[in-house]
């Protein structure tokens, strides 16, 4: 049965999945890029972004698994871009340029309708303005029996956790402190209840935790 999976989602030792003061210059918040250094050192993640080289080993194994059997992605509007309110002239097409790294349909949660946006190499952004359940239904349909990735950010994952819709979560705990930002497991109203740790492994760079719904 297809699953909704959070994959390769990095948090700091103090639990933050993004730094403070997110904007165009700091899309991950101030200091947030430190959370992803482990991933961008891997061969799989570099290949996903059209780059050569990269490290193999445990971190690369987890990075690669994050792409396996995934055929659609759901993201929050913050993850698509910094624009708030209406879309204006709709010139913003995402953080990733003409060839985003998804290469499959991506469903963007928003309160403001927008026509689908077709990019290179199979990525099409669909803008869903009628809730998280509708986005999941559309993503599962587009995935055609494969799994759906919940890409984030923090507030989006929290919405799906509160609704008990996430099947699995891979969280990478990075040995750094951010101090401020968005903490992944805040504001959940007991949302993480019913999950158990089914895998735990450490590399020199990061601790990998995989949680599954019991």
Q: What are the DSSP calls for 107-133, one per residue?
A: EEE-SS----EE-GGG-EEEEE-S-HH
**Residue-level pLDDT at 114:** 96
Residues 176, 34 contacting (CB under 8 angstroms) = yes
Residue 172 maps to a domain: yes
**Residue-level pLDDT at 191:** 62
Residue 148 maps to a domain: yes
Residue 89 maps to a domain: no
Domain total for the chain? Answer: 1
pTM of the model: 0.94
**Residue-level pLDDT at 84:** 84
**Burial of 160 per CB tally in 10 Å (0-12, 13-18, 19+):** buried
Residue 91 maps to a domain: no
Residue 93 maps to a domain: no
Residue-range definition of the domain harbouring residue 175 = 4-83+98-213
Pairing of strands 70-75, 105-109: parallel
Residues 25, 163 contacting (CB under 8 angstroms) = no
**Residue-level pLDDT at 27:** 84
Nearest to 49 by CA among 40, 57, 58: 40
Tokens of 59: 């971190």
**Residue-level pLDDT at 24:** 83
Residue 131 maps to a domain: yes
**What is the chain's pLDDT, residue by residue, as a tens digit (214 residues)?**
999 999 999 999 999 999 988 888 888 888 889 999 999 999 998 988 888 999 999 999 999 998 899 999 999 998 998 888 899 888 899 988 899 999 999 999 999 999 999 999 999 999 999 999 999 999 999 999 999 999 989 999 999 999 999 999 999 999 999 999 999 999 887 767 889 999 999 999 999 999 999 8
Residue 140 maps to a domain: yes
List the beta bridge partners of residue 173.
11, 207
CATH of the domain at 204: 3.40.430.10
Tokens 């055929």 -> residue: 71
Residue 88 maps to a domain: no
**Burial of 147 per CB tally in 10 Å (0-12, 13-18, 19+):** buried
């Amino acid at each position: 049965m297809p699953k909704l999976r959070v994959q390769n989602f990095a948090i700091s030792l103090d639990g933050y999945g993004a730094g403070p003061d997110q904007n165009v210059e700091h899309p991950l918040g101030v200091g947030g890029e430190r959370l992803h250094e482990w991933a961008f050192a891997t061969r799989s993640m570099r290949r996903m972004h059209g780059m050569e080289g990269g490290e193999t080993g445990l971190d690369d194994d987890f990075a690669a698994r994050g792409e396996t059997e995934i055929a659609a992605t759901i993201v929050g509007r913050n993850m698509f871009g910094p624009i708030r309110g209406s879309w204006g002239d709709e010139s913003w097409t995402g953080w990733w340029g003409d060839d985003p790294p998804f290469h499959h349909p991506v469903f963007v949660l928003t309160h403001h309708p927008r026509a689908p946006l077709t990019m290179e190499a199979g990525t099409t952004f669909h803008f869903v303005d009628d809730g998280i359940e509708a986005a999941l239904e559309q993503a599962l349909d587009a995935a055609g029996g494969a799994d759906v990735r919940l890409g984030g950010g923090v507030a989006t994952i929290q919405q799906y956790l509160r609704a008990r819709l996430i099947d699995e979560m891979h969280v990478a705990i990075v040995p750094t402190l951010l101090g401020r930002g968005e903490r992944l497991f805040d504001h959940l109203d007991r949302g993480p209840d019913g999950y158990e740790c089914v895998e735990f492994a450490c590399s020199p760079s990061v601790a990998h935790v995989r949680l599954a719904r019991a």
